[in-house]
Structure 1
Amino acid sequence: MTLTELYAKGEGRSINKATKRVFDVLATFIGATAPLGASELSRQLGLSRNMVHRALVTLAEEGYLLKSDPGGRYVLSYRLVELQNTAVAPPDLREIARPCLAHLSEATGETAQLCVRSGDVQTIIDGIEGGGPVVVRVKLGRATPLHASNASRAILAACTNAEIEDYLKRNAPLTRYTPATLTEPDALWQEIGAIRKAGYALSFGDYSPGTIGVAIALVDFDARPFGAIVVGGPASRLTDAWIQEHLETIRSAVANLNSITSLYQAP
């Protein structure tokens, strides 16, 4: 699901398809670590190479892309900064994240939650509960240290090594909440390495026994982790097969959300 499909769901009949293609192409550049060309964008977006080429030429002529090399690859230009009105405060994070939460809860049938970091803890500020008689309840305002729970560990793993070392020193000895809580620095560092490699954190009863979930960090304009999106439910229902079935959906939705949050600086 592309950025415009996710946040314009249900309004397809009012969308100009040519304009939508241009925005889809532009959105693909957000967060890209290397120049992009028509061929690779065509594969990523499922559009013909000619359609992508026309969108690239249009964006370049309007000054939003710059040609990076003679081969026809492009990068974002600084003209995008003109689109941000510095006189207007950044939108509320809950408003930005709400469509993502709704999409994930509907797609997976489980609870989707938004957490934000405040110092050495992360706090649940919004969520949509899943269906069924047994679900993970959204506990607004619950604060959890950064070494316990999948959301916390997703945020911690996205921090720099120096920031993690500082957290470990200031909070030693780490508090144990369940027998599975990682309180030894070596074990936590090993888990951080696994999260960084996978790109997400899994829960294993280290804070809330009996629940399983997938958490992915949210980053701001400076690539600082300031929160996380978590999708979870009862361990009896969320098997390894469930995780594999829904992982790409979760990854894609959070990547789309990060393409928006990375335009702003977290407080």
Structure 2
Amino acid sequence: MLDSDITTGKPQGAAASLLNGLTVLEAFSVAQRSLLGVTEISELVGLHKSTVSRMLTGLTEAGYVQRDDDTGRYRLGLGMIGLAGPLLAELDVRRAALPHLEELTQTTGETAAIAVWNGINAVVVEQTASPHQVKHSASIGTRYNRFASSSVRIFLAELPTEEAARLLSAGIILRDSYRGLDDPAHEHLAGIRELGFAVNDGETTFEEYGVSAPVRGYRGAAVGCITASAPRSRVQFQASQPILRDAVLQAAERVSARLGSRPAENKSSAPTVIVAPLGKQIAPLRPAAGVR
């Protein structure tokens, strides 16, 4: 909570400085100009020039603004890119994925979604719902933290083993009776890294079947995860697990390509992955007691 004066309700001390600094940064958006001087910013935001000058000095040291040596004016610095980077990446993934999610749903008739990793959860940021009356879906913003979730396992498989172990041992990612680095979960995650997909065959709820594959950015790291979800009864009755898996892998590959990922970096593009018999090379872990 921000410190404030009891009589005026206005932020005081560090809180006031923080808000003043944000106000100075917002001036560049209000003015819609790349270079602004102290006087211009002062007039735009209604702060005294000495306050603006002090804020700019601190923001320059932090890298959020940069002083132009020729004019003495200021522009936004590269630090702003780092600050907004996670949000921009999320928006880019969502925008790049949407047409391919729509195509995936049209091809399979099942719900398609893309999630991003926030450090402790897989978070759904876009979805196209199945046209069937009976379907599995999740609203945008839904967070998953169970190991049984195929999307969670995709992201865990991308993490260093020690980090995945920390999340599991601390109960941040839920898996009953976790036994540390000797737990079969880590062997399972290694298999997911090798194959490039994860399957949830009734592990979160008995009625659900889901398959997920990572989406990679231009640096080769996973920046998202595409999942197709369906009622198990429909998938098993139609024997369509390989069809659904291949469609997800192809969608993930196409989105990765739009984000600048090279085929060699995108494991889902390997033909041996697409045709690998599900269950022979990696068997889904069954949920521990109490997990639904």
TM-score with structure 2 setting the length: 0.52
- Deviation, 1:182, is 7.8
Q: 1:254 and 2:252 equivalent?
A: yes
- Deviation, 1:170, is 3.9
Name 1:155's counterpart in structure 2.
Answer: 155
- C-alpha RMSD of the superposition: 2.6
5+ residue gaps, structure 1, are 1-88
Name 2:99's counterpart in structure 1.
Answer: 99
Name 1:203's counterpart in structure 2.
Answer: 200
- Deviation, 1:169, is 4.1
Give per-residue Cα distances to partners, 1:142-190, cap 9 Å, x unaligned: 1111623001101111223243233334437x535xxxx7844412112
For residues 182 and 147 of structure 1, what CA distance do their matches in structure 2 show? 12
Structure 2 contact 93–223 (Cα < 8 Å) conserved: no
- Deviation, 1:141, is 1.4
Q: 1:244 and 2:242 equivalent?
A: yes
For residues 132 and 229 of structure 1, what CA distance do their matches in structure 2 show? 20
Give per-residue Cα distances to partners, 1:17-54, cap 9 Å, x unaligned: xxxxxxxxxxxxxxxxxxxxxxxxxxxxxxxxxxxxxx
- Deviation, 1:221, is 3.2
5+ residue gaps, structure 2, are 1-87, 262-292
For residues 115 and 226 of structure 2, what CA distance do their matches in structure 1 show? 6
Structure 1 residues 257 and 112: CA distance shift in structure 2, 3 A:
same
Structure 1 residues 262 and 184: CA distance shift in structure 2, 3 A:
farther
For residues 211 and 115 of structure 1, what CA distance do their matches in structure 2 show? 17
Larger radius of gyration: 2
Give per-residue Cα distances to partners, 1:45-82, cap 9 Å, x unaligned: xxxxxxxxxxxxxxxxxxxxxxxxxxxxxxxxxxxxxx
For residues 156 and 177 of structure 2, what CA distance do their matches in structure 1 show? 13
Name 2:29's counterpart in structure 1.
Answer: none
TM-score with structure 1 setting the length: 0.57
Q: 1:223 and 2:216 equivalent?
A: no
For residues 205 and 249 of structure 1, what CA distance do their matches in structure 2 show? 20
Q: Structure 2 counterpart of 1:94, which letter?
A: R
Q: Structure 2 counterpart of 1:133, which letter?
A: Q
For residues 104 and 243 of structure 2, what CA distance do their matches in structure 1 show? 13
Name 1:189's counterpart in structure 2.
Answer: 186
For residues 143 and 177 of structure 2, what CA distance do their matches in structure 1 show? 17
For residues 157 and 183 of structure 1, what CA distance do their matches in structure 2 show? 16
Q: 1:108 and 2:84 equivalent?
A: no
Bigger relative CO (Cα 8 Å, ≥ 6 apart):
1
Name 1:213's counterpart in structure 2.
Answer: 210
Structure 2 contact 208–229 (Cα < 8 Å) conserved: yes
The count of corresponding residues between Structure 1 and Structure 2 is: 171
Compare 125-134 and 253-262 and name the one that shifted more: 253-262
Structure 2 contact 217–259 (Cα < 8 Å) conserved: yes
For residues 182 and 93 of structure 1, what CA distance do their matches in structure 2 show? 35
Structure 1 contact 146–155 (Cα < 8 Å) conserved: no
For residues 242 and 183 of structure 1, what CA distance do their matches in structure 2 show? 32
Q: 1:139 and 2:139 equivalent?
A: yes
- Deviation, 1:261, is 2.7
Identity of aligned residues (%): 22
